[in-house]
Amino acid sequence: MRLVVKDVSFSYGSFPVLHGLTMEVGDGEVVSIVGPNGSGKSTLLRCAARILKPRQGVIYLDGKEIAALNGSELAKRLGYVPQAAAEVFPFTVLETVLMGRKPHLKWGVSKRDLAVVGDILRYMGLESMAGRCLDQLSGGQKQKVFLARALAQEPDILLLDEPTSSLDIRHQLEVLGLIKNLAHQYRRTILIVMHDLNLAARFSEKLILLKDGCIFAAGKPQKVLTAENVAAVYGVEAVVNNGKYGLQVFPLRPVAGREATLAAGTL
């Protein structure tokens, strides 16, 4: 399934955040949105998930405007995992993941619903935790549960806002590996917001680099993550190496002239 964002702008009140963004995510692709804080990454993802309504522009799923889909249709096609999901009641892992089946439920939970959830718990390595309450889990474990809940919707497109932000190094690699496998083996379309440039480069087919609500660069990681682009967008001098272990960005220092100084009398 193809996700197309066309000429999308968004403002929080009178404060503009996105400015005429146009982009596309193809079937079976992993595309990461990167950029500094405040560049509009999460806002763009929320617009794509129909949580926020763009001030202008249109978002399409396989040629259909998402604004025209009812809630159940959208939930069957698109799964969204926020950076920090709300925990209202102490549900178990099994109960939480089963909530993802809501768009498919008719009169009650079916054998197929339970089978889908069981497969996802095994896929995510959560089977042994099925009976545990969320408030007994670590932040990283909870994040995996919320991702599993989105997968239970059986969506064609997954929108993930920093899915590895609460995970240690091992679990970051594990979860991103699962996500990439979903795209390649099961042909899911995946759009991720990420801060870690090296992980984004390693696990993504394409990157979208935002600056001040605009697309500064887009394409393959080698094209987007250049030393010049890192300096222009992040204000950081960096060495970019594309070697045996893939593309890696090594930040060195803030770009000259952007550091705060005591001599200027600002502190």
- Lowest average pLDDT, out of 40-54, 73-87, 137-151, 211-225, goes to 73-87
Phi, psi of 133 (to 5 degrees): -80, 150
Over residues 127-149, mean pLDDT: 90
Question: Interhelix angle for 111-123 vs 139-152, to 10°?
Answer: 140
pLDDT at 262: 45
Class level of CATH domain 3-254: alpha beta
- Cα separation of 179 and 162, whole Å? 12
pLDDT at 67: 92
Strands (E), 141-201: 157-161, 189-193
* Token code pair at residue 198: 């090296």
| CA angle in degrees (0–180, nearest 5) for 122-146-61 | 100
Q: What's the mean per-residue pLDDT of the chain?
A: 91
Q: How many helices (H) and strands (E) in the chain?
A: 9, 12
Residue 14 has pLDDT above 60, yes or no: yes
Collapsed DSSP state (helix, strand, coil) of residue 107: coil
pLDDT at 259: 57
Over residues 214-243, mean pLDDT: 96
Sign of CA dihedral 159, 78, 143, 199: negative
- Cα separation of 196 and 159, whole Å? 17
* Percent of the chain clearing pLDDT 70 (strictly above): 94
3-state helix, strand, coil in the chain (%, to 5): 35, 30, 35
Pairing of strands 3-12, 15-25: antiparallel
- Cα separation of 198 and 202, whole Å? 6
Q: CB pairs under 8 A, 24+ apart, for 172-177?
A: 172/196, 172/199, 174/125, 175/143, 175/144, 175/147, 176/202, 176/203, 177/203
Please report which helix (H) or strand (E) contains residue 8, including its range: strand 3-12
- Going from N- to C-terminal start, the domains of the chain cover 3-254
Over residues 44-55, mean pLDDT: 96
For residue 151, name the pLDDT band (cuts at 50, 70, 90). very high
pLDDT tens-place string over residues 66-110 = 999 998 889 989 999 998 766 656 899 999 999 999 988 877 888
- Report yes or no on whether pTM surpasses 0.85: yes
Dihedral of the alpha carbons of 262, 265, 266, 267, in degrees to the nearest 10: 60
